A and B are shown apart, each in its own frame.
Chain A
Amino acid sequence: MTDLVDLSAAHDASRFGNKAANLARLIGAGIPVPPGLVVPVAGAVSPDAVERIVLWAREHAPWGLVVRSSAQREDSGGASYAGMFESLFCPVDAEALERAIRAVQESGDSERVRLYEQALGLRGQLSGLAVLIQAAIRPHASGVCFSQWPTGTDGFRIESALGLSTLLLQGEVLPDVVEGSADDRRDTTRSTAEKYVIPLPALPVELDLLPGEWIEGHSRHLGSWRAKLAYSDPDEGIVYLRPPQGWEKLPALPSDAEDALLPLGGRLTELYGNPALDIEWVYDGDGRIWIVQVRPATAAASAGVGGAAPTQAGSGQPGELVGRSAAPGLVDGVTEVVEDPARSAEFTPGRILVSGPARPELMPAIVACTGIVSADAGLLCHTAIVARELGKPCVVGVHEALELLPTGTPVRLDGSGGTVRPLTAGEPAARAAEAARFDVDPSRSVVEVLAGVAALTDPPVPRPGTVAQVLIMDRDLLAAAEQDAGPLLAAGTTLSGFLLPPEPPGAGRSAAPAAIAAACSRLPLGSLGDVLWTQPPPPPPYDVVVYDTDDRALFHRHIPAARSDS
């Protein structure tokens, strides 16, 4: 029969590993630690043992279990083995539990452990892995407290996230960070990350729900809440929720819990006789902080935490935010956030607008700005459409724009590339990447090609050198002309001709509406197709050009003089 030991009695690190022994010590000192059982080092886990754990869990673990490694060298000052072994949540279910225990035991022989030990010169020194099975706590928030930050000072650092800390420890979500002096909390600094997800251990009934359903809960400082299920992992018994409305920008750890955590950290440093500890904690939302792991701070752990400066992956430019290109153009400027569209009349002309969802009252700011960064998403969102209509460079889908680009930030907005980034002092002015366009030789004659029905009634004023303007007929215009040639014939007084669309191979010459064909002469426009000329066609040589709005050419083809023998 497998020897199962209650966590509170697992003091012998040689049998139960350092993590379990540490936690047993805390329990003995009256520190809140989730209850648990330990499978000793080298202990095979029999079906009977699994059944006993399940029976125990039904009494002590309403939110499921967490199955964790506890190695002899783990959590020691020299080598933390942080993240080296498996640590798995699982529902209270014999099969899932057996699978989790086996996975944790097998992780002691994994490639990553081998590489880690090789790097630290520890290979072969790990002499066994106990398995710790604890009741999962359903947390409001959890995270890590560094009792000495930076090393050698009286400072502290708390990193926290909503729900379980799994995503935080994997680096998949940004933490809230509080740093300051533990003695008098002087110079405390805070950064609060935007919250997207709350991982929680779940009740079996919650694991049966489809995404989109609501899960309810209660926390002491925020009262009753309901959050939408985004995803669930039945194997681990975890649900991933979207934060309830209004929680996205709140600190994960309420101030009273923060006030309770710091003295608890102080007690732990006294207990261990070590001022520099990494403490993993869980706040249950009901006023209680649980300690789930304590280890001496290691260089690796400290260096790995990093800052809280939020970034979105971009092209590698520091602080670059990546959204979606919505209207082309490159502009440098200073940001101005408009959160309340009713106040957009106060917008400073010439700045770059940073805004949330579009509303008509935002228009004064849109008119006055030189570019737009919007949290709205999609190339067809209203902000994007208006930006294109008014010719303002625009990037949409920058979800954290309002937080990360506060008013007064000098930025470079690349509406074509879909990025925005802070400008550094002395950086040269923006120059847009040139699209492939052509300067038109002013000495040459030009046949300008136009498109769109607006050209029938309101063609652009011919530029110097333009000898003819022809309208390219798409199938729509052709079909319309077949129904009623009047508008085209009327346009024949200002336009020189109509370029016919190509016909499929083998279909012969392009069809032309009879009424127009009768009134025009049909001649080619170089190799580009046939034109129904309403006016005498210009003799080659000439350039066929489509002008952009800045008088440069989007399309350019030289038609040489006809050879005398042709």
Chain B
Amino acid sequence: MESRWGDLVIFDYELNFPDAAPLELELYSLGLMRAPEVLLGDTVPLGIPRRPGILDVEAGRHDAWLADVAEASGSLAWARVLRTRFEAILAGLRRGLDCWEQTDGPLPELDLLVGPLLDLMALHTLNWVLPLDTYTRHFADLLGDPELGRQCLLAQLTPAAPAHMVDFHAYVLTSAQAATDGADLTALAQALSEEIGYLQQQGMAEVPLERPREASSFLQRVAAGHADGGIEGELAALLTAQQRSRRRRDSLYAAALLAASTDAVRFDRTNAMAIVCRVAAEEEEQRKILQQRALRAVRQIGERVGIDASGATLAQLGAAVTRARGAQEPEGQDELAGIPAGGQRS
């Protein structure tokens, strides 16, 4: 994704997401721009956007930022602030989505949705900025074994809430079982298409499972595949596996804390690393769900304000929302009205 070119580090999300809509690409590059602020409180944006999905970052700034994150990432105070911020961002984004998913009221501010969404995308950098090798060494030193150190790190990188794919699967199995037991298939399919259908594939475009008819066929196929029973057993096995993995995470954490229990500094670093790992894993899962849900909302916003969101940038969508809200744009006003600070302004 990123390449070093002279004194630039170029982040090119077009490579990872060749079929993504411009707005979807912007979420990544503008989110990255905001990462120093969201992670470290540094209000200077990272880099200069070249176009949606491409960010050019001066190499010195990039390296200094990574070093700052690495240094902070062993601090318990930072870990706690990070977790608090993450929870606040999630709550804010859910509120924004709830507002925008109410289709019968007046149009809300786009920033209610886009602001926390970009902050969440900024946190998505946690999946590559963290010095996980340092973490592994720390755990290995405590536990006296490199293999255990690696296992401890991997265990801490398990989210507290079920991973979205597991949740999705459990939802599908439960609905299929209900259909087999005689519940109203149409209602089940309608619920599936509304509640989790958008998770089927990445991107803004409508996916088959968002359509109740497709969802119905899908549920019927799953039910037919379990005609001999076994859904309850599969659900129970999922739950057992999840409990086991969480218990293992806690056991390894207990062992690491106990090994550090005579040294307050190492104890606090262990505590900090566990928090950061869990935030990173949680972010990956919750971000995926909320990002997809937000893209669905953006598509619907486009329909409400008369713009094809699949070809629009955030600025264009913001302008369309502003127009639709009846606010007359003053002459010469910044076209990025409606986009929160830290967006594509440089």
Residues on A facing B (Cβ under 8 Å): 210-212, 228, 230-231, 242, 245, 325-328, 345, 357-364, 366-367, 378-382, 384-386, 388-391, 416, 433-437, 449-452, 454-455, 460, 472, 474-476, 499, 501-505, 507, 527-529, 544, 546-549, 554-555, 557
Q: List 15 A-B contacts (CB under 8 A).
A: A359-B165, A363-B172, A382-B163, A385-B163, A390-B238, A436-B143, A437-B148, A455-B250, A476-B271, A501-B268, A501-B271, A528-B258, A549-B244, A554-B143, A555-B259
Least CB distance, B266 to chain A, in whole angstroms: 9
CB under 8 Å from chain A, chain B span 1-51: 3, 5, 8, 10, 12, 14-15, 18, 50
A465–B207 Cα distance when bound, in Å, is 55
A549 to B254: give the CA distance in the assembly, Å. Answer: 13
B159 at the interface (CB under 8 A from A): yes
B76 to chain A, nearest CB (A): 6
A389 and B154 contacting across the interface, CB-CB below 8 Å: no
Asked if B191 is at the interface of the complex by the 8 Å CB criterion, the answer is no
Q: Are B201 and A359 in contact (CB under 8 A)?
A: yes
Instruction: Check if A529 sits within 8 Å of B252, measured CB to CB.
Output: no
Q: Is the CB of A435 within 8 A of B76?
A: no
The interface residues of chain B lying within 8 Å CB-to-CB of A242 are 15
With A389-B166, A546-B258 as contacts: A451 and B8 at CB distance below 8 Å = no
> Shortest distance in angstroms between A154's beta carbon and chain B's nearest beta carbon?
44
How many chain B residues sit at the interface, stated as a range, is 35 or more
Contacts of B132 in A (CB 8 A): 379
- Most B CB contacts (10 A, CB to CB) among A210, A499, A547 go to A210
Q: Are B165 and A450 in contact (CB under 8 A)?
A: no
Give the residues in chain A near B280, CB-CB below 8 Å.
380
Shortest C-beta distance, A496 to chain B (Å), equals 15
Q: Is B158 an interface residue (CB 8 A)?
A: yes
The CA of A549 and the CA of B155, in the complex, are separated in Å by 12
**In contact, A474 and B271 (Cβ under 8 angstroms):** yes
B148/A435 in contact, CB under 8 A: yes
The reply to whether A501 and B261 contact each other, CB–CB distance below 8 Å, is yes
Assembled-state Cα–Cα distance A496/B162 (Å): 30
Find out whether the CB atom of B169 lies under 8 angstroms from the CB atom of A360.
yes
Contact residue among A345, A360, A381, A388 (Cβ-Cβ distance under 8 Å from B158): A388
Partner of A380, one of B76, B147, B284: B284
Q: Is the interface of B mostly helix, strand, loop or mixed?
A: helix
Known: A367-B237, A389-B241, A436-B148. 15 other contacts (CB 8 A): A228-B12, A228-B14, A245-B18, A359-B201, A379-B132, A382-B165, A385-B157, A385-B158, A386-B166, A388-B155, A390-B166, A437-B148, A505-B264, A544-B258, A555-B255
Which chain B residues border A382 with CB–CB below 8 Å? 163-165, 284-285, 288
Residues of chain B within 8 A of A211, CB atoms compared:
3, 5, 10, 12
Instruction: Report B-chain residues with C-beta under 8 Å of the C-beta of A436.
Output: 143-145, 147-148
Shortest CB–CB separation between residue A522 and chain B, in angstroms? 15
Are B274 and A210 touching (Cβ within 8 A)? no
In the complex where A380-B281, A454-B250, A529-B262 touch, is A367 in contact with B169 (Cβ < 8 A)?
yes
Q: What chain A residues lie within 8 Å of B148 (beta carbons)? A: 435-437, 554
| Contact residues in B for A452 (Cβ distance below 8 Å) | 246, 249-250, 253-254
Across the interface, B154 reaches (CB within 8 A) one of A345, A388, A450, namely A388
Cβ-defined partner of B165 (8 Å) among A360, A454, A529: A360
Given contacts A360-B165, A360-B168, A378-B128, contact A546 B285 (CB under 8 A): no
Query: Are the CB atoms of B199 and A554 closer together than 8 Å?
Result: no
Known: A363-B169, A391-B241. A345 touches B285 (CB 8 A): no
Q: Which of A363, A433, A505 meets B147, CB within 8 Å? A: A433
Question: How far, in whole Å, are A325 and B80 apart by their CA atoms in the complex?
Answer: 28
Task: Say yes or no for B108: interface residue by CB 8 A criterion.
Answer: no
Chain B residues lying within 8 Å of A360, measured Cβ to Cβ, are 164-165, 168-169, 196, 199-200
| A455: B residues at CB distance < 8 A | 250
Residue numbers in A under 8 Å from B200 (CB-CB): 359-361
Residue ID in chain A nearest B132 by CB atoms:
A379
Which one of A242, A325, A363, A391 has the greatest number of beta carbons of chain B within 10 Å? A363
A475 to B274, CA, bound (A): 12
Alpha-carbon distance A301/B198, docked complex (angstroms) = 56
Instruction: Tell me how far the C-beta of B72 lies from the nearest C-beta in chain A, rounded to whole angstroms.
Output: 16
Q: At the interface, yes or no: B99 with Cβ under 8 Å from chain A?
A: no
* A472-B154 in contact (CB<8A): no
- Does B186 touch A at the CB level, under 8 Å? no
Is residue B60 within 8 Å, beta carbon to beta carbon, of the partner chain? no
CB proximity of A400 to chain B, nearest CB, Å: 18
Q: Are B154 and A504 in contact (CB under 8 A)?
A: no
Tell me if A385 and B159 are in contact (CB < 8 A). yes
Lowest 9 CB-CB distances: which A-B pairs, in order?
Answer: A451-B254, A363-B169, A452-B250, A436-B145, A360-B168, A554-B255, A555-B255, A380-B127, A435-B147
Contact A212 B258 (CB under 8 A): no
Q: How far is the CA of A514 from the CA of B145 in the complex (A)?
A: 38
- Residue pair B154, A379 in contact (C-beta under 8 Å): yes
